[in-house]
Chain A
Amino acid sequence: EAGVTQFPSHSVIEKGQTVTLRCDPISGHDNLYWYRRVMGKEIKFLLHFVKESKQDESGMPNNRFLAERTGGTYSTLKVQPAELEDSGVYFCASSPRTRGDAFFGQGTRLTVV
């Protein structure tokens, strides 16, 4: 069974540009989460989808971040325009349950220069 996959694994963009991160969850997992780790600190929650609906987006930093999950399958996280402080590793996770442990992807390392 394929795990959670994220694309790209690395992205280097200039300040002001747009970047779109993609996450393919484990097939059949209704719950999809986005997290971010900045500068080796804690992994912080961004938002939670249940199927195609946003269950909780309380962790989204600001309106430059837009997440979608069309059709309840894969999800995208767009940052527009990117700022220097957006640099970090963005993790996607999926789970068949609303809470409890989740399966994480390998992450996308975003560097804004």
Chain B
Amino acid sequence: DQQVKQNSPSLSVQEGRISILNCDYTNSMFDYFLWYKKYPAEGPTFLISISSIKDKNEDGRFTVFLNKSAKHLSLHIVPSQPGDSAVYFCAASGSASSARQLTFGSGTQLTVLP
């Protein structure tokens, strides 16, 4: 039973446009959410995070939005660049000792077309 779901396995956008990657979670114990980016043959690299006390966090071209009532978060990349092409993983953790590890979604392959 997946507690973090990324329902879109792939997404293609044109360079310069906005990329929106979505993630849903079911465990209400999660209070910290992260996005990781992964290139082929490399490990995931931390991108941006958000605590449940916030609904938005911005870092340069990357913004994460959190809707706690809907148990939904999204990552916006604007403008998208070809170098952003990678697999993006949503992850979550909780403060309870049983939930501190990262629980990942299955990833979304983003392709930014030049």
Contacts and interface: CB of A to CB of B under 8 A. Distances in A.
Interface stretch (A67-75, A80-88, A95-103): A95-103
Contact of A56 (B42, B97, B103, B106): B97
Interface in A10-69: 33, 35, 40-45, 48, 56, 58-59
Contacts of B102: 33, 35, 43, 45, 102
Determine the main DSSP class of A at the interface with B: loop
Contacts, number: 62
B43 A101 contact: no
A42 B46 contact: no
A38 B103 CA distance: 14
A40 B104 CA distance: 12
Interface residues on A, range: 20 to 34
A98 B44 contact: no
Interface of B: 2, 4, 32, 34, 36, 41-46, 49, 89, 91, 93, 95, 97-98, 100-107
Interface of A: 4, 33, 35, 40-45, 48, 56, 58-59, 91, 93, 98-107
